[in-house]
Amino acid sequence: MSPSATRERLSPPITATQVQLFIFTVACVAAFVWSWIFLGMSFSGITSSFGDVSRLVKRMVPPDFSNLSNIVDATIETVWMAVMGTAGAIVLSFPLALGAARNTSPHPTIRYICRTVISLTRAVPDLVLGAVFVSALSIGPLPGVLALAIHSIGMVGKLFADAIEQAAEAPREATISVGATRRQTTRASILPQAMPSMIATALFRLEINIRASTVLGLVGAGGIGVLIQTSLRSLDYESALGAVAVIFVVVTAVELLSVRIRSAILGDAAALAQSSRHGWFSQRIIARDTRVNRKSFETRALSPPWTWDRMFSTATISGFLLALAVAVLTIDIDWARTVPLMPQIITVFGDLFPPDFTTVRSEMVTGIVESVVIAVIATGLGLLIAVPLSLLAARNIMTKRILSTVTRLVMLAFRGIPELIIAVIFVSAMGLGPVPGTLALTVVTASFSAKLFAEALEEVDAAPREAVLAVGAGKIQEFFASVVPQFMPAFTGHFLYILDVNLRSSTVLGIVGGGGIGFLLLNSMRVLEFQTTGAIVMAIFGIVLAIELIGNWVRQLLR
Amino acid sequence: MQVINTVADSDVAVKVTSLSKRFPNGTLALDNVSLEVPRGQVLALIGLSGSGKSTLLRTLNGLHAPTGGKVVVQGTDVSTANGKSLRKLRHHIGFVFQQFGLVGRATCMENVLVGSLGSLRGPRLGVRSYPVALRRKALEQLERVGLSEQAFQRADTLSGGQMQRVAIARSLMQEPSVLLADEPVASLDPESANQVLDLILRIAREDGMTVICTLHQVELALGWSDRIVGLRAGQVVLDQMNAQLSQDQVMEVYRATGTPMQFETESALQSA
């Protein structure tokens, strides 16, 4: 055997996938460096910017709660908007998901149409939708609710369809074989399987929509957002912090609650019983379930017993319906006046066409480039911060429990303030421009992706880790040999997702003066140049579609 | 019951004295276990799930720290070893897991190379980060287990039996004097199980390795080992050279003990 042949066998063959991944990595680094230079970023600049921000934050303390009743009213409106928007999204998504899922769709053409509608709604940011609806229906919470409902279809519809497609095939066949109709089959075999996941999705979306609705006020679509901006503009910093504090409390509480409810709905009782952390509580639940099951058997009951799962799901659903009823009855929407205005939405959407790319072409190009650059830097910098944070937060990596808990709390604190609110604060501290927008997005990216990464790290299979330790490897060797290879696919997947999210966010940062195409977008609407608006929406749509295509390409490489 | 207690210390590969292990949740997994394994012996450890077999193996290479007693492997006291000395000791003890412990996304070659980490300084990522001499050695080990053609295939593309053979090749990289195997064939079909056990036995004889292997299947244990040790509720209840044993004697180890509670839990889980 020739020496070269030996060497070849001792090194892994270079595959097309590796080459493509390498190109992708180099392109990402190049894009980051170019963006960094384009915006004239520097670390000393960043440090002094955070100095500006901390000075502003100091002037915000102590928070002023003197108009607390206003803040509370606005917060309640914000929450009701989110509830109604989510309810609307569920109602609209359900039939779309049934049409889009492989196993329930009546026809391939319908499936294709449903899928397209679902992805289209996701591509237009909710703030953009909100702005369009405001120009049709004038300011107030209703345009906000509609914007949330339409934009949420993208996620809710997709995850509903996924849940339906993941339902096991055998029960469906069994139901068909007893002579059930298509609708009976769906009802009897598919929905029961998909329901827990669908409830969890709806809750998760409600959580996202509460964040989103806090900033819809910035385009006049109702909620608390406008209160913060007004206070900052009138230099009433203490009141601004008062409103931010209330948002923080609501968002954080909703997140903590939603995570608990979702894991309770998704996790089955048997898995709960085995987890030592909830040992005592879950043992009690299982004991109770066993008891009620036995009782209904002994009494030959003809309706299902109230097991923990059943009580929990029922309570969640009725809680949501109750909130929805209160929202519809109490929210400040003049239905008699606005309902007749609904057709105007179609008129406004019609006004967007044909898109006019000519009027502000150079500004539009600059704006789009700026948006992309902001997203790229925020993603890159955010990840640089997020990776070490996630290592500290992951309980299977950082075995000192106190450190991981503290890290988690810090991350949670930063997630509690919606990114556009952070952007508003940064812009107030540093002035208009893309840099404050970038830094605001970086902070949010860091805390959000650190959470995703920590979760992915905790899902790493422990068996190879133990095996690597058993050969006598040190802790760092073990980390690189067993954790890193397992973590890489999740890392890349989350990276693409975060880049995607940041591109959408950076297109609306301009609304609060944080740079990018958003300013032009809002401005074109204010001066009623709807065809230019149409062109910008098309451009945003194009960027989002491009990143989705890149994402699909890389994900397929990683499979 | 102790059979082999008249061997010179230098010929003893593993010596366990009054070993106890109580887990933080209160379970007493090992209860005053004493055991001496001479060099080159192939020992099968049998017992019900939860009888302490895995815990015993894990205590032997320091994956679990004992709460009482003493463990000496190859003249090193495992119970007092820590950090560097523990890693050095582990480097000379091979460990084969029921679930293989392979990094599925990595190639077989990389998984085998992991076995040499104890002799290297600093972290490694990817086959190319290992010295060529070690790569050549890894390929030889893969050849020994009959998988050199799959060297650059991802580990998760292999069958269960093949994965376990890769895991054995990883242990061989350590040139171990003692090989611990924790249910190495429990996840395999009978055909692959035989292949894997034969492979372990062949290598043990060729290299003069001491093997301690937990097994569920009594027939396999009888046909394959030199000596059988049975555990029940953390205590040694059987310790005999293979030739003196009948299947019935061995089955006695599996005699049901205190099952009603277990039944209760299971029915509760099913109804939940």
Is the predicted pLDDT of residue A140 greater than 90, yes or no? no
Is the predicted pLDDT of residue A157 greater than 90, yes or no? yes
The answer on B85 and B6 residing in a single domain is yes
pLDDT tens for each residue of A410-457: 888 888 888 888 898 898 888 888 999 999 999 999 999 998 999 899
A473 touches chain B (CB under 8 A): yes
The answer on B81 and B122 residing in a single domain is no
B164 touches chain A (CB under 8 A): no
Would the CB atoms of B269 and A12 count as touching at under 8 Å? no
Note the pLDDT of residue A87.
96
Average pLDDT, integer, range A365-387: 93
Is the predicted pLDDT of residue A549 greater than 90, yes or no? no
Would the CB atoms of A12 and B152 count as touching at under 8 Å? yes
* More confident position, A189 or A3: A189
Is the predicted pLDDT of residue A518 greater than 70, yes or no? yes
The answer on B182 and B271 residing in a single domain is yes
What is the DSSP secondary structure assignment for residue A63, as one 8-state letter? P
The answer on B144 and B195 residing in a single domain is no
Residues 2-31 of A with CB under 8 A from B: 6-7, 9-13
Helix/strand/coil (H/E/C) assignment for every residue in B77-140: ECCCCCHHHHHHHHHCEEEECCCCCCCCCCEHHHHHHHHHHHHCCCCCCCHHHCCHHHHHHHHH
Average pLDDT, integer, range B14-22: 92
A273 touches chain B (CB under 8 A): yes
pLDDT tens for each residue of B44-82: 999 888 888 999 999 998 888 899 999 999 888 988 888
Average pLDDT, integer, range A348-356: 81
Note the pLDDT of residue A2.
41
Helix A308-330 / helix A191-213 crossing angle, nearest 10 deg:
40
Note the pLDDT of residue B50.
83
Of A273, A276, A471, the CB nearest to B170: A471
The answer on B188 and B83 residing in a single domain is yes
Note the pLDDT of residue A25.
93
Min Cα–Cα distance to chain B from A464, Å: 4
Report chain B residues whose CB lies below 8 A from the CB of A474: 87, 117
Q: Do domains A32-61+351-559 and A63-288+307-333 have the same CATH topology?
A: yes
Would the CB atoms of B267 and A468 count as touching at under 8 Å? no
The answer on B146 and B36 residing in a single domain is no
Note the pLDDT of residue A467.
93
B251 touches chain A (CB under 8 A): no
State what percent of residues in chain A have pLDDT above 90.
28
Q: In whole angstroms, what is the distance from residue B129 CA to residue A48 CA? A: 41
The residue of chain B nearest to residue A484, with distances taken between CA atoms, is B125
CATH architecture, domain defined by A32-61+351-559: Orthogonal Bundle (1.10)
Note the pLDDT of residue A43.
87
State what percent of residues in chain B have pLDDT above 90.
50
Note the pLDDT of residue A228.
81
Would the CB atoms of B171 and A13 count as touching at under 8 Å? no
Note the pLDDT of residue B79.
82
Helix/strand/coil (H/E/C) assignment for every residue in A468-508: HHHCCCCHHHHHHHHHHHHHHHHHHHHHHHHHHHHHHHHHH
Would the CB atoms of A286 and B272 count as touching at under 8 Å? yes
The answer on B223 and B106 residing in a single domain is no
The answer on B188 and B88 residing in a single domain is yes
Note the pLDDT of residue B219.
83
Average pLDDT, integer, range B17-42: 90
Note the pLDDT of residue A109.
94
Most confident of A316-330, A351-365, B230-244: A316-330
Exposure of B227 in the CB half-sphere (CA atoms within 13 A): 21
Q: In whole angstroms, what is the distance from residue B216 CA to residue B56 CA? A: 15
Q: Which residues span the domain enclosing B75?
A: 1-92+178-272
Report chain B residues whose CB lies below 8 A from the CB of A6: 136
Last residue of one domain, picked from the residues B133, B155, B175: B175
Is the predicted pLDDT of residue B5 greater than 60, yes or no? no
Last residue of one domain, picked from the residues B143, B175, B207: B175
Q: Would you call A375 helix, strand, or coil by DSSP?
A: helix
**B256: confidence class by pLDDT, cuts 50, 70, 90:** low
A474 touches chain B (CB under 8 A): yes
* More confident position, B248 or A408: A408
Note the pLDDT of residue B260.
40
Provide the CATH number for the domain formed by A63-288+307-333 in this structure: 1.10.3720.10
* More confident position, B270 or A387: A387
Residue type, position A516, single letter: G
Q: Please give the backbone phi and psi of residue B153, each rounded to the nearest 5 degrees, phi first.
A: -90, 150
pLDDT tens for each residue of A295-342: 888 888 888 888 887 888 888 899 999 999 999 988 887 777 777 877
Residues 172-191 of B with CB under 8 A from A: 173-174
CATH of the domain at B5: 3.40.50.300
Chains A & B: contacts with CB separation below 8 Å: 132
A336 touches chain B (CB under 8 A): no
Min Cα–Cα distance to chain B from A31, Å: 26
Is the predicted pLDDT of residue A85 greater than 90, yes or no? yes
Min Cα–Cα distance to chain B from A68, Å: 47
Would the CB atoms of A471 and B101 count as touching at under 8 Å? no
Min Cα–Cα distance to chain A from B252, Å: 30
Q: Give the pair of three-digit tokens for residue B4.
A: 């082999």
Q: In whole angstroms, what is the distance from residue B64 CA to residue B83 CA? A: 14
Min Cα–Cα distance to chain A from B133, Å: 9
Q: Give the pair of three-digit tokens for residue A553.
A: 């390409």
Last residue of one domain, picked from the residues B175, B207, B223: B175
The residue of chain B nearest to residue A488, with distances taken between CA atoms, is B105
The answer on B216 and B169 residing in a single domain is no
pLDDT tens for each residue of B121-168: 889 988 889 999 999 999 999 999 999 899 999 999 999 999 999 999
Of B102, B123, B135, the CB nearest to A476: B123
The answer on B124 and B49 residing in a single domain is no
Q: In whole angstroms, what is the distance from residue A308 CA to residue A285 CA? A: 7
pLDDT tens for each residue of A519-538: 888 888 888 788 888 888 88
Report chain B residues whose CB lies below 8 A from the CB of A481: 103, 114, 117, 123-125
Average pLDDT, integer, range B179-208: 91
Would the CB atoms of B87 and A270 count as touching at under 8 Å? no
Note the pLDDT of residue B24.
83
ipTM of this complex prediction, to 2 decimal places = 0.84
**CA-based Rg of chain B, rounded to a whole angstrom?**
19
Of A463, A471, A482, the CB nearest to B90: A471
Would the CB atoms of A463 and B97 count as touching at under 8 Å? yes
Q: Give the pair of three-digit tokens for residue B156.
A: 């998760």
Note the pLDDT of residue A230.
83
Note the pLDDT of residue A3.
44
Note the pLDDT of residue A221.
79
Q: In whole angstroms, what is the distance from residue A229 CA to residue A225 CA? A: 7
Average pLDDT, integer, range A376-403: 91
* More confident position, B94 or A60: B94
Min Cα–Cα distance to chain B from A471, Å: 5
What is the DSSP secondary structure assignment for residue B154, as one 8-state letter? B
B135 touches chain A (CB under 8 A): yes
Residues 189-248 of B with CB under 8 A from A: none
The answer on B165 and B231 residing in a single domain is no
Strand partners, B232: B235
For chain B, the domain total comes to: 2
Q: In whole angstroms, what is the distance from residue A145 CA to residue A507 CA? A: 21
Note the pLDDT of residue B265.
40
Report chain A residues whose CB lies below 8 A from the CB of B116: 471
Distances (CA, A) of A514 to A279, A422, A438: 48, 10, 8
The answer on B84 and B125 residing in a single domain is no
Would the CB atoms of B95 and A307 count as touching at under 8 Å? no
- Domain residue extents for chain A: 32-61+351-559, 63-288+307-333
Min Cα–Cα distance to chain A from B149, Å: 10
Is the predicted pLDDT of residue B257 greater than 80, yes or no? no
Is the predicted pLDDT of residue A270 greater than 50, yes or no? no
